[in-house]
Each structure stands twice: as C-alpha cells, then as structure tokens.
Amino acid sequence: MTMSRRQLIAVMPAALTGANTAFPDVRALTVDVFGTVVDWRGSIIAEGSHFNRSHGVRIDWANFADRWRAGYGPSMNLVRKGELPWQTIDQLHRGVLDKLLPEFGITSLNEADKDHLNRVWHRLNPWPDSVAGLSRLRKKFIIAPLSNGNLALLTNMAKYAHIPWDCILSAELAKHYKPDPEAYLTAASLLGLRPDQVMMVAAHKYDLKASKALGFRTAFVPRPGEYGPSVKPETDPDESCEMVAHDFRHLADLLGAPR
Amino acid sequence: MTMSRRQLIAVMPAALTGANTAFPDVRALTVDVFGTVVDWRGSIIAEGSHFNRSHGVRIDWANFADRWRAGYGPSMNLVRKGELPWQTIDQLHRGVLDKLLPEFGITSLNEADKDHLNRVWHRLNPWPDSVAGLSRLRKKFIIAPLSNGNLALLTNMAKYAHIPWDCILSAELAKHYKPDPEAYLTAASLLGLRPDQVMMVAAHKYDLKASKALGFRTAFVPRPGEYGPSVKPETDPDESCEMVAHDFRHLADLLGAPR
C-alpha cells in the first residue's frame, strides 16, 4: 500500500518535509473554532455540572449540549437562505436555549440567569494542544479565528481561554455564515491577502471544501472526540484536505513554526 | 481658582478617586490609534532616514510625513460623503504617496518598493507608555483599536509593535469613516455592548465629541508631540472629555486597572 503525498506530509517530521515549502505563499491562518480549537461539548458538560449543583437539578448536560449544538443549524440555514434576517450565533443559541429549558424542566431562570447560561459559548475550553500550538503558529503567521460565532463571543472566549489571536474574524463581518463564499472572501479581504495566501484550518471537511473552492489552502485537524465517545465524526481526509495534522502542535511542526 | 471635576479626576491618584466608580458600566475601551497610541510622525521620520541612506537620497521626511498625513483627509472626506466608493486607508495612503513621490524627486521606485513604503503605516512605533498602559487596561477591560486604519493595517501594526488588543475594530467594518456615527455604533454592536458600556479613548476631541453624542463614555489622552515640535495641537479638554489622562499608564491608574 502506497501513501499519498498528503499522508506522507502528515506523518513526516517537519525537519524532513522541508517545513512549509509546500505552501510558501501562506501568510495567515484562519481557524475554525467550535470543535477545532475548543471542546464545546466537554466545556458545557463541565459548566453544567456546576449548574446542577447550584440549582439543585439533574440535567443530562451531554444530551443538553448535543441538542443545543444541533438546534441552531436549522435557524442558521434560514438566515443563510435569506428567509430570516441576520442574527448572531448568540441570538440563535438563545432561541434554542429558550426552547430547551422547559423541555428539560427548567422554568425558574430569570433573564440574567438565561443570558449567563447562553454565554457558556463564550467560556469554552480549548483542546489541550490548541493554545500551545497556536502560540507557535503565531510566531510565523497571522492567526485569526474564522468562525460562525459572533465577534463578541470569539473575543470573550479568547480572553477567557487565553487564545492568542492576532485579530478576530467572524462570519458576522460578512453577515454570511460559513460555508457561504462571502464568509471566507470577506476574511481574506480584511486581512489584505489573496485567498491563496490564507490557509483555512478546521476539523470539518465541509469548511475546507468551501474555502478550497475559493483558492484558500487547507489544513485538516480532525477531532475524533468532538461529539463525545459514542459518535465517530469523519476523520479520514479527502481531497479538500491539503495538509493533515493530528493537533495544533503537529500543525506547527508541519508548517515550520518556531518553538 | 477652582478645579473642575474632570481636572480633579485627572490629577488625583486612583486610590483617592475610588478608581472607575465614575464609570462602573464600562466594559470595553475603543482606542484611536494614529497619534493616540502610535507616533506616526516620528516613526516615518525614523524609517525615512534609513530610506535616504539605502536609496542615496535626501528627502525631508518630517515634511513628507506631514504632507502624507494631511493628504489623505480630502479623499477620505469624499468617501464619507459618498462621492467616492469605499476605499481603505491603505488605498488612500497609496494615492497620496503616488502624488508625493515625484514631488520629492523620487521616480525610481518599483511597485514592490512603493508597496513596502506605503506599508510604513503598518510599522508605526507606540508612544513609550502605550503598550505598558494598555497591557494593564486589558486586565480589566476588553481593549480594541477603533481607527480609520483598515483591519489589515491595524493587525500588522499590533503584531509589529506588540500592542495587546483583544480584537481589532476599524471603521472598515462599518465602511464608514470616523466621525460618522456608523463607525462607532458598529464597533459597540460587534462588541455586544451598549454605547454607554464603551469608552472611546483618543488624543483628538472630534473623535470624543462624535462618540459622546452617541452615548459612549470618553477619555482624552492629549499627545502634545503628535505633529512635531513646531505645531501645538489643542490639548485643553472640553466638555467632550469625561476623563483626562496624560498617557496610558495614567489612564490605567484612573480606571483602576491592576498593575
């Protein structure tokens, strides 16, 4: 069995690959956030366990997190199709939360409590490699999130989790959610770069496929644990993945970022 | 002679003012950049002296910098009035540069040289107190530039000068230059904050006046040396200045930011 060039790059140490000679024009990395940089599910479960104790309830937060995450997609797609006016992810999350709370038997929260709970998405914890790997990558590249999360959410999260972005990019700045082309092209334009000078980094192939079609370079960082132990996301690279790294430290090696 | 409340705040140490009790709702500082955070004139003169040596020319860079800075205003105002389509400050600076170079006798630069020179505005040096003061302020507030400079310019400058912004805000995100209301209101909206939760910090009263009219809180940080030794900018506060600090360290004291 022979390995593809992609597979070879993924398994060879940086010293052997001639780090980043494959993508000498890349100046900036735009990075997906939910699932790629932060463990949204584990973070919500962890904060939920505190919520259960402080509120004297027994919510299954793994189930709650999964329902919450799945729930915002349909309304986001209505926004994408122009059937709903622009709304931020904070607003979309809140719409789902207001439906889920009574389903889970929670009817006693006041507005401040609900707003605080909705902002759990601003307080997500990075995967163990994220901050170390991104800190190295920042020495060589401009690094920015490119998430469907709104700018305030991403800014607060970066402050909370010490994620060292150079600037905050968001689908909000285009008022078009990924994978709409406008989300990616607006990001490149704001960075003052051509699409081929920007590498999209994500744990989700739909994100890489959409950006690659516009000329972005792409790096796949699969996160097998994103949806919990019982769901196996697609972790096999396909033709949308020009580079494959098993985490951000590995990506820093592959791209020749200094230690 | 009695002092106004503003003057009293400006001269009293933080421990005596009951730091930031005057503005308990403020969560974020939006900060003007050219002149307020960075010394554009001194930086261009310094880089220009290298340019003179490497190109064997004797340009008066103080004069060049003043003409360059003054030159972009008229075209920016045409953009503001809708008489020109949106252009970034990089584009406006380049338009002025292309007129100034032949006036100063420089006709030999190729495109890469001109682009590099135009990007001197991405390589401006902070005033001596800026990074130290902003680093303290960041411990207590979200801090972001709110400049007419485009996002790429501000991002590159932050990386070059180690300015620790939490996110990069710019008039570019509103496609309206300051002092148009959209520039300020878009910034507050992207931060997810009401205008009264945001303090505009600037060395220029027009900026504070425009933001205060929209409900922003304001802090004046006069920079008497901005235009060089022979020009005295207005450094006296007026009713647009709710707080007055003589530099960013002092502002950190006044706002009770930890050391």
pLDDT in tens, A134-192: 999 999 999 999 999 999 999 999 999 999 999 999 999 999 999 999 999 999 999 99
* Count of CB pairs separated by less than 8 Å, A with B: 59
SS3 of B53-107: HHHCCCCCHHHHHHHHHHHHHHHHHHHHCCCCCCCCHHHHHHHHHHHHHHHCCCC
CATH topology of domain B5-39+126-254: Rossmann fold (3.40.50)
- Which residues on chain A place their C-beta less than 8 Å from a C-beta of chain B? 88, 90, 142, 144, 150-156, 158-159, 165-168, 172-173, 190-193
ipTM entry: 0.92
Query: Taking CA atoms, what residue in A is nearest to B172?
Result: A190
Which of B168, B170, B197 to mutate to probe the A interface, most A CBs <10 Å? B168
Predicted confidence at residue B256, as pLDDT, reads: 96
Q: Would the CB atoms of A190 and B172 count as touching at under 8 Å? A: yes
Q: How far is A90 from A155, CA to CA, in rounded Å? A: 13
**A19 — pLDDT class (breaks 50, 70, 90):** low
Kindly report, residue by residue over A216-258, the tens digit of the pLDDT: 999 999 999 999 999 988 899 999 999 999 999 999 999 999 9
* Count of beta carbons in the 10 Å neighbourhood of residue A232: 10
Full pLDDT tens readout for chain B, 259 residues: 344 545 544 544 444 444 556 799 999 999 999 999 999 999 999 999 999 999 999 999 999 999 999 999 998 999 999 999 999 999 999 999 999 999 999 999 999 999 999 999 999 999 999 999 999 999 999 999 999 999 999 999 999 999 999 999 999 999 999 999 999 999 999 999 999 999 999 999 999 999 999 999 999 999 999 999 999 888 999 999 999 999 999 999 999 999 9
Q: Would the CB atoms of A167 and B166 count as touching at under 8 Å? A: no
Chain B nearest CA to A258, separation (Å): 16
Q: Does domain A40-122 have CATH number 1.10.150.240?
A: yes
Closest Cβ–Cβ partner in A159, A172, A173 for B166: A159
| pTM of structure | 0.92
Alpha-carbon dihedral A159, B248, B196, B12, rounded to 10 degrees: 130
Q: Report CA-CA distances (Å) from A46 to A50, A130, B215.
A: 7, 19, 38
Domain boundaries, chain A: 5-39+126-254, 40-122
Nearest CA among B157, B161, B138 for reference residue B149: B157
Q: Would the CB atoms of B166 and A151 count as touching at under 8 Å? A: no
Predicted confidence at residue B34, as pLDDT, reads: 98
Which of B167, B168, B169, B172 to mutate to probe the A interface, most A CBs <10 Å? B167
Q: Would the CB atoms of B151 and A168 count as touching at under 8 Å? A: no
What average pLDDT does chain A have?
93
Q: How far is B254 from B219, CA to CA, in rounded Å? A: 10
> Which residues in chain A have their CB less than 8 angstroms from residue B192's CB?
88, 90, 150-153
Q: Would the CB atoms of B159 and A166 count as touching at under 8 Å? A: yes
Q: A5-39+126-254 with A40-122: one CATH topology? A: no
Q: How far is A88 from A76, CA to CA, in rounded Å? A: 9
